[in-house]
Amino acid sequence: MTHLSVNINKIATLRNARGGNAPDLLKVAADIETFGAQGITIHPRPDERHIRYQDARDLTQIVTTEYNIEGNPNPKFIALVLETKPTQVTLVPDSVDAITSDAGWDTIKHKDFLKDIIATFKENGIRTSIFVDPDTKMVEGAAETGADRIELYTESYAKGYGTGNEESVLPFTEAAKIAYSLDLGINAGHDLSLDNIKFFKDNVPNLIEVSIGHALVCESLYFGLDNVINMYLNKLK
C-alpha cells in the first residue's frame, strides 16, 4: 500500500498560539504512529512560526517510523538535517515569507545547486526527495541531480478534482510513469484530503508515500485523529 506520513506543522501552530505546550507535539507524534501512520513529516521555516528547530531535534528521540524533514536548503536547514539525520529530507523551494509551499523546483535551472546538496545528504545516509510540479522535464531534471525520490506537488490536482475535473490527475499519472522509468521513487503532497486521496492513489502508479497535514488535522476536528488516520490508511490500500 501507499504509506501515510502525517505532517504535524498544524499541531505546532496550535501549540504556539498559546505559548505553552498544549497540545504536546511530541506526544501527538507518538500517538500518530500508534494509530497506524507510517511516518512523521515536519517543515520547519526560518521564523519557526510552527515547527521549531528544537522540535526537529526532540523528535529524533520520538519517531520510530519514517522521519521526513522538508524545507528550503539554506545553511541553517542543511545544518539541522545533518545534525538530526532523518530518514528522508525533502527539498522545497519555498521563500522565507511563504505561507505554504506553492511551487516545485526548476530542476534544470538549479541542477548543480541541488546535486551538491543531495550529494552531501546522501553521504550522510539520508534519503533525498525533491518537490516538483507534474512536469516531465522537471522530473527528468530531478533524476539528473542524484535524488532518490520526487514529491509531486499536488495542489493543481486537488483544485481540479474539487471542481469535478478528474482529468487534472493526468499530468501526475504521466509524471509518475516517467519517474519510475528513471528509477525515482514517487511521493506526493499538498492539499490531498479524504475526499481526493483515493482517486489520486488509484491513478498515479507506483506511489510510495503521501504527506498530509492541513486537511488531516481539519478532518480530525470532526472525526478524531485516530479515526482519520485509519480512514486514510483504508483509502491508501
List pLDDT tens digits, range 60-69: 999 999 999 9
99: nearest Cα among 226, 7, 9, 192: 9
Res 97: pLDDT: 57
Q: Are 147 and 118 in contact (CB under 8 A)?
A: yes
Beta strands in 159-233 (DSSP E): 185-189, 207-212
- Alpha carbons 218 and 89: distance in angstroms, whole number: 25
Res 101: pLDDT: 56
Q: Are 186 and 180 in contact (CB under 8 A)?
A: yes
Res 103: pLDDT: 80
Q: How many domains does the chain have?
A: 1
Dihedral angle, C-alpha 217, 209, 89, 174, nearest 10 ° = -120
- Whichever domain contains 25, its CATH number is 3.20.20.70
- Alpha carbons 160 and 168: distance in angstroms, whole number: 5
Low-confidence stretches of the chain (pLDDT < 70) are 95-102
pTM of the model: 0.95
Which residues are designated catalytic? 43, 70, 190
Res 96: pLDDT: 55
Give me the sign of the Cα torsion angle 168, 169, 170, 172. Answer: positive
List pLDDT tens digits, range 185-205: 999 999 999 999 999 999 999
Residue with cell 546535486: 115
Res 100: pLDDT: 55
Full residue range of the structural domain in which residue 44 is found: 3-235
Res 216: pLDDT: 98
Helices first, then strands: H and E counts in the chain: 11, 8
